[in-house]
Structure 1
Amino acid sequence: MTISIKTADEIEKMRVAGRLGSEVLDYITPFIVPGITTAEIDRLCHEYMVNVQGTIPAPLNYCPPGYIPYPKSICTSVNNVICHGIPNDKPLKNGDVVNLDITVIKDGYHGDNSRMFMVGDNVASHAKRLSQITYDCMWIGIEQVKPGAHFGDIGAAIQKYAEKAGYSVVREFCGHGIGSVFHEEPQVLHYGKAGTGPVMQAGMIFTIEPMINAGKRDIKQMNDGWTIVTKDRSLSAQWEHTILVTETGYEVLTISNGSPAKPEKYLLG
């Protein structure tokens, strides 16, 4: 496994791409209300990326081996959809939860992040708790990042916290290295054993994006070839940031003015 070490120039381009990716989520936030369709959300994000930012939506026509080209510019995963939900014409309802996964390309480099959104004023407390625990999981994973740490430290910390909350961690999908290539080494698992896996070095850039299920971890792929749902139809949540390993720790690259703050304390203490 070869994990690329980014140059100072590449890191600066990743900072720009990361901020722009986060700013798409800032832009779309006021539109996430009951009655809007995920197709309309996709259209608004696409126009903002292309016409305002001058970025390229990385998911559009993305086609890894074994897949058909992804048909939209963002991923919209509602309720029991774990990831890769394709935007459609079904309106969001009061009480839904939705993950918006945004990746932009700017000057050849990718900025990849996602956030959970609560739709309307009637979201159940158990759905809010799942989202908060998942947000905690992402940050607990981020806190493991420093030169000399092992990638297994990230997954171990996330798994321990998620399972303490009574939830399960999706294992088939993971974080990934990123730069001029959308998905590169390493795979960043959200479960596992501390002290295992490759050793982190300054200049590595990758995503941490835990997918946490309220029920069991088992998944099912829908007939569209992309959408992944919980097999038991339980709720799922995901948060994602792109992270740089620095000489002393980490830097979150997907931060903008509207980014939710790092938790001052975690829900489970």
Structure 2
Amino acid sequence: MIEILTPADLGRARVTGALVADILYTMKSRATVGTNLLDIDRWTKEMIVEAGAESCYVDYEPSFGRGPFGHYICTAVNDAVLHGKPHDYTLADGDLLTLDLAVLKSGIAADSAISFIVGDSRPAESVALIEVTERALKAAIAAAVPGARIGDLSHTIGTVLSEAGYPINVEFGGHGIGSTMHQDPHVPNNGRPGRGYKLRPGLLLALEPWVMADTDKLVTDADGWTLRSKTGARTAHSEHTIAITPGGAEILTLPSQ
């Protein structure tokens, strides 16, 4: 299903997007050396409930996962990159943490992810991984104009990642979003320009470049959810929900202040 939102829907999407961003950046500020991932999950739940919103994750049960996710935020550390299931782990200096959050409020969902380094250390490899995903996301957003095609966005992301020397996995990528978290169209992180669905005003997309330092192969943890790099290499992931407007892409998942 591909949804096209009305102007009223878009107004509600802005509220949801700002909430997602506010929660993510609050959790980033609290994710210091010694913080437990389970505390981040608990704090996230408290903010979602206080806002009168709903988690898109806690009851999420897709075919690729093992049972309901059961938590409110994805917390992926170091070699984990997607669907990181919160567990009893205490963050250490130099950890590369990815927080991925999707929330539903007033009938509209928004989805975003940020990667950052915990503590004072700044390992060069981690800095480079984060920077390239952010740069690929920025380039894709700039390309997301009415009349462009999904393949144009995929090609833009893939070009940035591949020119930086990173392998690209296309099993998981961006997606349409609206009244539900995951919708068509799928937006792979590499593709051919001029192909796929044509963008039109009212379409919401969650764009999410992610990379692993030296592989395009994933392995799944025993928890049935957390996806890691097969080689144990570090990873990074950046994501925004955007709305296609007559003038181009509007980023919805920016903090309210």
Under a length normalisation based on structure 1, what TM-score does the superposition of the two structures give?
Answer: 0.92
Match of 2:62 among 41, 44, 64: 64
Q: Partners of 2:128 and 2:74 in 1: how far apart?
A: 22
Match of residue 255 from structure 1: 254
Alignment: residue pair count = 256
Q: Partners of 1:11 and 1:112 in 2: how far apart?
A: 14
Deviation for aligned residue 1:66: 5.2
Match of residue 167 from structure 2: 168
1:6-48 CA-partner distances (Å, limit 9, x unpaired): 1112111111111111110122222111111111111111111
Deviation for aligned residue 1:161: 1.1
Unaligned runs of 5+ in 1: 259-269
RMSD: 1.2
Deviation for aligned residue 1:216: 1.1
1:60-80 CA-partner distances (Å, limit 9, x unpaired): 121123531001100001111
Which structure 2 residues correspond to residues 222-261 of structure 1 after superposition, within 5 A?
222-257=221-256
Match of residue 105 from structure 1: 104
Deviation for aligned residue 1:122: 1.2
Percent identity between the two aligned chains: 33
SS of residue in 2 equivalent to 1:139: helix
SS of residue in 1 equivalent to 2:39: helix
Q: Is the 8 A contact 1:82 1:229 kept in 2?
A: yes
Match of residue 261 from structure 1: none
Which structure 2 residues correspond to residues 1-269 of structure 1 after superposition, within 5 A?
2-51=1-50, 53-65=51-63, 67=65, 68-257=67-256
Match of residue 262 from structure 1: none
Under a length normalisation based on structure 2, what TM-score does the superposition of the two structures give?
Answer: 0.96
Displaced runs of 4 or more, over 6 A: none
SS of residue in 1 equivalent to 2:143: coil
Deviation for aligned residue 1:151: 0.5
1:126-179 CA-partner distances (Å, limit 9, x unpaired): 111110111101111111101110100111111111111111222110111111
SS of residue in 1 equivalent to 2:254: coil
SS of residue in 2 equivalent to 1:27: helix
